[in-house]
Amino acid sequence: MAEAKDDSERGEWLEALDSVEAFEGLERVDELLEAIVTSARRKGAKLPFAANSAYVNTISPEHQPEHPGDRKLEMTIRRYVRWNAAAIVLRANKDSSELGGHIASFQSAATLYDTGFMHFWRAADETHGGDLVYFQGHSSPGVYARAFLEGRLSEDQLVNFRQEVGGVGLSSYPHPWLMPEFWQFPTVSMGLGPLMAIYQARFLRYLHGRGLADTAERKVWVFCGDGEMDEPESLGAISLAGREKLNNLIFVINCNLQRLDGPVRGNGKIVQELEADFRGAGWNVVKCLWGSGWDALLAKDKDGKLRQLMEECVDGEYQDFKSKNGAYIREHFFGKHPETAAMVADWSDAQIWALTRGGHDPIKVFAAYKAASEHKGQPTVILAKTVKGYGMGAAGEGQMIAHQAKKIGTDALKAFRDRFGIPLSDEELTKLPFLKLPPGGPEEQYLQGRRKALGGPLPARRRRSTPLEIPALSAFEGLLQATGEGREISTTMAFVRILSTLLRDKNIGQRIVPIVPDESRTFGMEGLFRQIGIFSQVGQLYRPQDADQLMYYREDSKGQILQEGINEPGAMASFIAAGTSYSTSNCPMIPFYIYYSMFGFQRIGDLAWAAGDMRARGFLIGGTSGRTTLNGEGLQHEDGHSHILASTIPNCVGYDPTYAYELAVIIQHGLKRMYADNEDVYYYITTLNENYPHPAMPEGAEEGILKGMYKLKTVEAPKSALKVRLLGAGAILREVEAGAELLARDFGVSSEIWSVTSFTELRREGLEAERWNLLHPEADKRLSYVEQCLAKGQGPVIAATDYMKAIGDGIRAYVPASYRVLGTDGFGRSDYRRALRSFFEVDRHHVAVAALKSLADDQLLPAKKVSEAIAKYGINPDKPSPAKV
Ligand SMILES: Cc1ncc(C[n+]2csc(CCOP(=O)(O)OP(=O)(O)O)c2C)c(N)n1
Ligand SMILES: [Mg+2]
């Protein structure tokens, strides 16, 4: 009885639904259902969660806008682009496959790119700041192919795809470092593009919110592969985009169902999975799955069997269908149900084969792009279904091996030519010529006309922006003086004072972008919350708990701080967006990203590499650095290697200063290099949380501070000829100073003390000198800076650092004396600083012992003296090595 009642009731509801649809349309159905569902949820009903819509296009044919272009001309142009893109790779691989390259990915995405270039992407001009397009890295041949048709790249450049050493070549992937007037965003390390783009879109809002640039009309378009979405970075920040309502952001995910090895989700459906992910994160999802040929079939699908079939098939099958032919699809797809088989019973196999996927249909793609561009209040993701290697036939279309295909046999090449109507004879074909559109013809005019209408060519990168006026060093006068009797500060505190000074500077104060990943209080920066505010598009919708405090937690729509939460990759992406704003927005900004040094390069190394490639400028401040200086936090927090990692990035300038005046000199000079002289470098500076007194800057020290070392002082031992040179860096310089006192007092050894602000810069300079000498064997030898510094003094050289020994070892070749390095190799652990420095053998006692041992090795002292020192300072000579325990 109950069941019968249920059924009839259900029938009534369904009938009502049909009737609403028939008389008022589907939108009204949506509205009513939403209201009913909301009401039912509030009553406590447990409705099943469904994040998915049906496996069909989001935009129905009735809602499809008119395609405004000349589709015939566009098709011809696209075919030329397709051909040239393939020819670029085929020619590079003609003789050997050493150079590599990809064909199949761009062939699957050609219409997706073409539609953007023809109708959507604005270049920067006087009236518009320009859209920002993140091209999928390995689709670069397609982008080059189009730039060639536009006359922006020469045939010579195309021939030299992936052959850059001679100077005319094209980079494998988008690399601003290698093609600084062309590529804006390095995307090829999968996942970084999507992540960086989200923060880029948010940064455009930041610039707008703060009144620094008008970015209201600008959009960020991001092209990613469906395989790429498996990278945690790809999806990791999508909820930020949803939360921040970034409707200036459009993701286009090319769902060709394949990655490198095989299907992305052979046993499932990547489109449906991504739809759920993005919807859950608050995005507008536009599925573009089926080409126009399917419209009539779907219109006939009254019983829903075709839709059911579309949902039943998994991606492994969809890939297989498109690798075969029409007959195969008739049998294995439509043939699964008698109703669907009947739908195409009177179709030819060729007609079935001609049914395309949404991402290959310009009309569907245009509709999706238009909807995305006009959507309000949410970012949009377009899930475009395509075929990997589209048009490549046996050479790659839907084939497992599609991704790696870089050679095409003559038959497959002919098939490709015929399929796309490429005007080449059999004989011409094998020479793989690059095709130009007939000069002055309608296609050429159309191509140029479209880009003209959209403001100019893309991609294009601005190299230079207006130089900024940088404050003189005297602006930091307070830090150049000694801290004074009994006052102790840390370099972190000194940094905060520098930052405060800069924030107040009338020329560049507004350009400073402090970025923190939930560590402001750690670094004593909480005063800035109140002073300059935390950026929030909606201001502050609550009364902060500490509102009655002087320095309360303030969010503001004009706030200057980017508070990224516990999210180092996101904060680094903000650093990159701010650090490249001089190029992307013609608005130089000065990011200071302050974080726990251990969660920097080690954690986000690939983004730091991308920042270098992208020519980002700004300051990374590795706080609480040093393996024995951040003492209590132990193994996971104590960084003794970030400077080594930083040194792997060619244009990252690293410093490990000890004293406040060193920090001031370094930052002031960095500002000048990056923002007045337009140098494409960025800085990594470590700061410490250890408090101690700071001396005044020694006269004339600036140059040495910047080059990497300068003589700090001499500690003379009375009545002795024994001399050593002690180099100290960062936190350990002060142990070196104390060690020098021990040496003088206990062993009558005099020391020259050098503060090493940057072993990395010293090594780089040394390498350059060495290289020059190698290549100019008969010229006067160039002395490295290290050699110059140490040429005059006497005695062995001992260096000590809170970083691994490798950092000090880097200058060994340039030290004109015996050289010993103390460093902190091994896992950190918690204890007092004094205990840790003893454990890692970098404290004053070990400095003294090391100096004596060097003197003994140089036959200047009996070895017995070293033993004496070991005993005197209570060192256990048989204690296990800190690098091993
Ligand atoms: C971090 C990272 N890992 C691996 C690669 C190597 N790689 C380049 S393309 C590719 C497959 C890409 O598949 P998908 O994202 O689906 O793009 P499609 O070529 O199918 O459009 C791989 C593994 C890379 N570039 N970056
Ligand atoms: Mg793919």
Supply the mean pLDDT for the chain.
Answer: 96
Centroid of ligand 1 to alpha carbon of 403 (angstroms): 9
Q: Provide, for the chain, the percentages of residues in helix, strand and coil under a 3-state DSSP scheme, each rounded to the nearest 5.
A: 45, 10, 40
Tokens standing for residue 491:
């370099």
Q: Rounded distance, CA 403 to CA 407, Å?
A: 11
Residue with the nearest Cα to atom 10 of ligand 1?
260
Mean pLDDT of 144-163: 97
Helix or strand (DSSP H, E) at 755: strand 750-756
Q: Residue 268's closest CA among 319, 195, 335?
A: 319
What letter does residue 673 receive in the DSSP assignment? I
pLDDT of residue 7: 83
Split at pLDDT 50, 70, 90, the class of 80 is: very high
Phi/psi at 686 (5° precision): -95, 140
What percent of the chain stands above pLDDT 70? 99
Split at pLDDT 50, 70, 90, the class of 97 is: confident
Are the CB atoms for 869 and 859 separated by under 8 Å? no
- List, edge to edge, every strand of the sheet that includes 652-655: 562-563, 512-516, 590-596, 619-623, 682-686, 652-655
Q: Is 877 helix (H, G, I), strand (E, B) or coil?
A: coil
What percent of the chain stands above pLDDT 90? 93
Split at pLDDT 50, 70, 90, the class of 561 is: very high
Centroid of ligand 1 to alpha carbon of 101 (angstroms): 12
* pLDDT tens digit sequence for 794-841: 999 999 999 999 999 999 999 999 999 999 999 999 999 999 999 999
* pLDDT tens digit sequence for 599-615: 999 999 999 999 999 99
Q: Is 247 helix (H, G, I), strand (E, B) or coil?
A: coil
Best of 173, 260, 386, 387 for a ligand 1 pocket test (most atoms within 8 Å of beta carbon): 260
**Beta strand pairing status for 709-715 and 750-756?**
antiparallel
Are the CB atoms for 384 and 358 separated by under 8 Å? yes
Are the CB atoms for 515 and 483 separated by under 8 Å? no
Residue with the nearest Cα to atom 19 of ligand 1?
105
pLDDT of residue 298: 97
> Within a 10 A sphere around the Cβ of 547, how many other Cβ atoms?
11
Tokens standing for residue 826:
């091994």
Q: What letters, b where the CB count within 10 A reaches 16 and e where it falls short, cover 275-302?
A: bbbbbebbbbbbbbbbbbebbebbeebe
Start-to-end CA distance of the chain, whole Å, equals 76
Amino acid letter at 416? F
Q: Rounded distance, CA 286 to CA 879, Å?
A: 65
Contacts of 175 by beta carbon, 8 Å cutoff, 6+ apart: 183, 186, 613
Centroid of ligand 2 to alpha carbon of 263 (angstroms): 8
Mean pLDDT of 167-185: 97
Q: Residue 784's closest CA among 815, 742, 806, 759?
A: 815
Question: Which ligand 1 atom is the nearest neighbour of the CA of 256?
Answer: 20
Q: Rounded distance, CA 596 to CA 604, Å?
A: 12
Tokens standing for residue 857:
């090795």
Tokens standing for residue 271:
């489109």
Q: Rounded distance, CA 416 to CA 635, Å?
A: 58
Q: Residue 296's closest CA among 346, 250, 260?
A: 346
Split at pLDDT 50, 70, 90, the class of 46 is: confident
- DSSP-derived secondary structure for 624-666: S-STTTS-TT-TTT--S-HHHHHTTSTTEEEE---SHHHHHHH
Contacts of 878 by beta carbon, 8 Å cutoff, 6+ apart: none
* pLDDT tens digit sequence for 225-250: 999 999 999 999 999 999 999 999 99
Residue 189 CA: distances (Å) to CA of 192, 440, 572, 602, 606: 6, 39, 15, 17, 8
Contacts of 298 by beta carbon, 8 Å cutoff, 6+ apart: 56, 290, 306, 307
Centroid of ligand 1 to alpha carbon of 379 (angstroms): 24
Is residue 506 classed exposed, middle or buried when 0-12, 13-18 and 19+ CB atoms within 10 A define those classes?
A: exposed
The full 3-state SS of 571-627, as one line of letters, equals HHHHHHHHHCHHHHCCCCCEEEEEEEHHHCHHHHHHHHHHHHHCCCCCEEEEECCCC
Q: Rounded distance, CA 605 to CA 592, Å?
A: 17
Contacts of 801 by beta carbon, 8 Å cutoff, 6+ apart: 656, 728, 729, 730, 732, 756, 759, 807, 808, 821, 822, 823, 824, 842
pLDDT of residue 48: 78
Amino acid letter at 587? C
Amino acid letter at 596? Y
Centroid of ligand 2 to alpha carbon of 299 (angstroms): 29
Residue 376 CA: distances (Å) to CA of 130, 248, 249: 19, 9, 11
pLDDT of residue 4: 56
> Within a 10 A sphere around the Cβ of 33, how many other Cβ atoms?
12
Are the CB atoms for 559 and 532 separated by under 8 Å? yes
Q: Is 693 helix (H, G, I), strand (E, B) or coil?
A: coil
Q: Rounded distance, CA 838 to CA 836, Å?
A: 5
Phi/psi at 598 (5° precision): -65, -25
Amino acid letter at 699? E
Q: What is the CA radius of gyration of the chain?
A: 33
Split at pLDDT 50, 70, 90, the class of 407 is: confident
Mean pLDDT of 622-636: 95
Centroid of ligand 2 to alpha carbon of 403 (angstroms): 9
Residue with the nearest Cα to atom 12 of ligand 1?
259
pLDDT of residue 1: 45
Residue 865 predicted with pLDDT over 80: yes
* pLDDT tens digit sequence for 255-300: 999 999 999 999 999 999 999 999 999 999 999 999 999 999 999 9
Phi/psi at 731 (5° precision): -60, -25
Q: Rounded distance, CA 217 to CA 122, Å?
A: 10
Question: Which ligand 1 atom is the nearest neighbour of the CA of 403?
Answer: 19
Tokens standing for residue 287:
């599925």
Q: How many CA atoms lie within 13 A of 384 on its CB side?
A: 35
Site residues for ligand 1, CB cut-off 6 Å: 105, 138, 188-190, 225-228, 254, 256, 258-260, 264, 388, 403
Tokens standing for residue 224:
């990613």
Q: Rounded distance, CA 175 to CA 186, Å?
A: 5
pLDDT of residue 38: 86
Residue 617 CA: distances (Å) to CA of 578, 654, 875: 8, 13, 46
Residue with the nearest Cα to atom 13 of ligand 1?
259
Centroid of ligand 1 to alpha carbon of 259 (angstroms): 6
The full 3-state SS of 167-216, as one line of letters, equals CCCECCCCCCCCCCCCCCCCCCCCCHHHHHHHHHHHHHHHHHHCCCCCCC
Question: Which ligand 1 atom is the nearest neighbour of the CA of 191?
Answer: 1
